[in-house]
């Protein structure tokens, strides 16, 4: 059973054309944290959760203070119950489009035909990890095929680790970083290029073996992946590390004029994100973005913090609108 979906309220429990202060799109760490903050601020909030968090394939969440070792499913199930405990609504579904209404608010169109109205939007749908086109990687993603040593390094400490190079600079960083968790690290160069003298010296000094040639597939039993080379060599590893491309899940924002932009670090285009400021505010008034959607590289804990920060900013914005409306109403009453 999909435990992530099992306790999300279905469409039968939702009001058609329901009106909310805030609709949160995305039910993982950033979205649920933002929704919890908004619900505690006595705002009418709905979370739309497609049930496909980025870390669904991972066995556990790590480096999350107080929740170390929780499964993603358990973390988000608890988060949904916390949101509901303060009067928030959590709906299963996916958002197809968001548009501005004549009164300046937002119409949120779900794929199943439901429509919600909102004063503000918090977009927290994250990213999709696109793996290199090597057979065998997708099936092992999140278990034997990894990307982040802070997420998975402890679990494969002192075990044989392989780095599949996509970009030479990034692969060097990965190999040297993962070396902190194991003294048996192999760098598979593929067609990423040849290390220069300085890079070769670093690899040699840290005892990182370099394997040249093309990787054709990753095979093997769970917990024992084997890297197959074009020349027939088979290299046994415990974990295979890859560099994924992080693609923002942002199609539903296109109607508002929000498009993800390329993210570049050290000359490497590693994905896309929706531009947002420190509080999550985007270039579209009333629309905020948090979590991996705006910052693809952050982990679960900072994603949750970003959701909280965005919710606080949204709360302040709603408050100022209501103050202005109250002042205008009082002035009109006095004038009348």
Identify the DSSP state of 243: P
Output the pLDDT for position 54. Answer: 87
The stretches in the chain having pLDDT less than 50 are 1-16
Output the pLDDT for position 57. Answer: 82
Output the pLDDT for position 6. Answer: 36
pLDDT (tens digit per residue) in 235-270:
999 999 999 999 999 999 999 999 999 999 988 999
Q: Are the folds of 3-129+245-335 and 132-241 the same?
A: yes
Among candidates 225, 259, 16, which has minimal Cα distance to 117?
16
Q: Which uninterrupted H or E stretch holds 72?
A: helix 72-85
- CATH of region 132-241: 3.50.50.60
Kindly tell me the burial class for residue 16, based on how many C-beta atoms sit within 10 Å of its own C-beta (0-12, 13-18, 19 or more).
Answer: exposed
- CATH superfamily entry for domain 3-129+245-335: FAD/NAD(P)-binding domain (3.50.50.60)
CA angle, 114 as apex, 288 and 89 as ends, to 5°? 60
Please tell me the pTM assigned to this model.
Answer: 0.91
Kindly list the domain boundaries of the chain, sorted by start residue: 3-129+245-335, 132-241
């Amino acid at each position: 059973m999909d435990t992530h979906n099992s306790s999300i309220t279905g469409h039968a429990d939702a009001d058609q054309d329901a009106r909310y202060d805030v609709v949160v799109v995305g039910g993982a760490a950033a979205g649920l944290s933002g929704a919890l903050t908004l619900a505690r601020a006595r705002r009418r909030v709905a979370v739309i959760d497609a049930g496909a968090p980025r870390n669904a394939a991972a066995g556990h969440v790590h480096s999350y203070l107080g929740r170390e070792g929780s499964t993603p499913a358990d973390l988000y199930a608890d988060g949904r119950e916390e949101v509901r405990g303060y009067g928030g609504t959590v709906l299963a579904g996916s958002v197809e489009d968001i548009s501005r209404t004549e009164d300046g608010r937002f119409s949120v169109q779900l794929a199943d035909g439901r429509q919600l109205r909102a004063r503000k939007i918090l977009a927290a749908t994250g990213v999709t990890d696109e793996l290199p086109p090597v057979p065998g990687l997708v099936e092992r993603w999140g278990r034997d095929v990894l990307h982040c040593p802070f997420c998975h390094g402890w679990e494969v400490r002192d075990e044989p680790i392989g780095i599949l190079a996509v970009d030479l600079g990034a692969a060097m960083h990965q190999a040297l970083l993962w070396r902190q968790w194991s003294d048996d690290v192999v760098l598979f160069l593929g067609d990423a290029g040849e290390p220069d003298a300085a890079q070769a010296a670093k690899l040699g000094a840290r005892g990182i073996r370099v394997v040249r040639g093309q990787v054709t597939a990753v095979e093997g039993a769970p917990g024992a992946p084997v890297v197959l080379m074009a020349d027939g060599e088979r290299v046994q590893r415990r974990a295979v590390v890859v560099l994924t491309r992080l693609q923002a899940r942002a199609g539903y924002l296109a109607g508002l004029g929000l498009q993800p932009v390329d993210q570049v670090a050290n000359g490497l285009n590693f994905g896309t994100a929706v531009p947002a400021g420190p509080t999550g505010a985007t270039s579209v008034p009333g629309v905020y973005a948090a979590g991996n959607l705006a910052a693809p590289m952050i982990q679960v804990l900072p994603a949750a913090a970003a959701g909280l920060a965005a919710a606080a900013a949204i709360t302040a914005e709603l408050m100022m609108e209501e103050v202005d409306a109250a002042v205008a109403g009082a002035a009109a009453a006095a004038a009348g």
